[in-house]
Amino acid sequence: MHAPSSFIAVSLLCLACGPGTEAEAPRSAAANQWLTRAKASLRAGDFEDASESSRRAILTAPKDDEVRILGAKIALTELNYDDAIRLASGLPQSEARRLLARALWYKGSYETCADVLEGLLQDPTVKDPWVNQVAKLARRAHGRTPFAMEGGYIAAVEIPRQIGDAMVMPLNVVPIELEGEQVLAVVSTGVSELVIDSTTRKEPEWVSVRFDRIEVRDVPALTQDLAALSRQVRIPIRALIGTNFLRHLNATIDRRGDQFVVRREEAHAPPEASRIGLWYPLGATIAMRASVSKNDADASSFLVNTQLPLSLGLTTQEWKKAGFEQKALAEVPGTDGLRTGTLKSFRFAGFDLGGLPAFSGVPVDDKFGIDFGGVIGSDLLMNFRITLGNEGRFAWIEPDPSMANPHPPATASPSDPGREPKP
């Protein structure tokens, strides 16, 4: 019996990087210091320092399993798929193989990814819904051209503010054509893929999605029960547009003009925009840096959740940085434990949003092992025109002209210049 070519590819990757099980020399003091610093920086959400510290740890101990796994995790957060694949390949640990599968998937190496995923499905220590669903898609990618665009070069779809008697703002509800059917989708940076309501499709599949004049073929779609979201907005939501799909759309979310824009090619830099770097824990959820004070040393990383219809949720630690104690925050009537206060300053992408309402009691996802300062929601983001660049590695941010004193810089601020693409 002949081994499949994708299996051979995985084997070659493993041989190239070493078996990962040989007895290694004790880690040097320098390597241990860089590894410790990289772990601490990643935990704190300081992605740039984590990346540099990890790079130095790898140079010092290139065959150390723990060093390579952490390096692969950080590389995936930067969407640096080649480095993540190189570092995770050949390692037997379940965490390494999970990182490898994701890097292969996002890079578009679907057949090789299928082999890794099928191995993970046989591992009793792995409990990962993403693995379960994507494994059903990866092998069926053969012969497809994922995310292939046809039709026009740019498409603009109206984002409604109200549908019937339902006020859907600040969520971005986008009318799309899914497999020839007109449905409503919500832009959701809390999920990685296109997600389809499980009441209409029971299994993950490859689908076609049309945005006005542009049709995107061979889009991988996972399934999820969206009934709770539909009840929340009081209209039937049949899909979520996740981050991996957004990155392929060269998308702009423009609440000023109530438009969702899709392009075949990356947009040019807007003349009056600020640029902010974006990171993707596990290659999925978006994170960005911001500060709750005018002191840039107070900067933290925040998850971006466009399904959250609030402005900003802060952890207890971030409220302390902002000069508030929990008991000083006002209870929000009719909510389950939400409290609120008004920030004197909230700085991101060079903008200073004084007088911004923020909330305590908003859940912050802790599955990434990162101490996020909180969650940025759609009620804050709707004040900006946001365009993804460099396949989602940064975003151009333009303020609504009606915002009072937004102080937009002509270029990226020195404290957060955004990330240049790596060679």
Structure confidence at residue 164 (pLDDT):
92
Q: Which CATH class is domain 274-399?
A: mainly beta
pLDDT at 272: 86
Q: How far apart are CA 171 and CA 184, in angstroms?
A: 12
Domain ranges of the chain: 5-141, 148-263, 274-399
Question: Is the CATH code 2.60.120.330 the one for domain 148-263?
Answer: no
Model pLDDT, residue 2: 44
Q: What is the pLDDT of residue 256?
A: 84
Angle, alpha carbons 156-304-385 (nearest 5°): 35
* Each residue's pLDDT tens digit, 318-340: 999 999 998 899 999 999 889 99
Name every residue whose Cβ is closer than 8 Å to that of residue 257 and which is 6 or more positions away in sequence: 385
Tens digits of per-residue pLDDT, 354-380? 899 999 999 998 889 999 999 999 999
Predicted pLDDT at 303:
97
148-263 and 274-399 agree in CATH topology: yes
Contact (CB, 8 A) for 418 and 356: no
Classified by CATH at the fold level, domain 5-141 comes out as 1.25.40
> Global pTM?
0.88
For residue 8, the model assigns a pLDDT of: 38
Q: Please return the burial class of 189, using the count of CB atoms within 10 Å of its CB with bins 0-12, 13-18 and 19+.
A: buried
Q: Which residue numbers in the chain have pLDDT < 70?
A: 1-25, 402-423
**What pLDDT score was predicted for residue 5?**
43
What pLDDT score does 403 carry? Answer: 57
Q: What's the pLDDT score for residue 26?
A: 82
* Closest to 206 measured CA to CA, from 162, 118, 294, 146: 146
| Count of all residues that appear for the chain in the document | 423
CA distances from residue 341 to 14, 128, 313 in whole angstroms, order as listed? 53, 37, 10
pLDDT of amino acid 24: 60
Which amino acid is located at 236 in the chain? P
Q: Is the distance from CB of 286 to CB of 294 less than 8 angstroms?
A: no
| 123-140 pLDDT, tens digit each | 999 999 999 999 999 999
pLDDT value for 25: 67
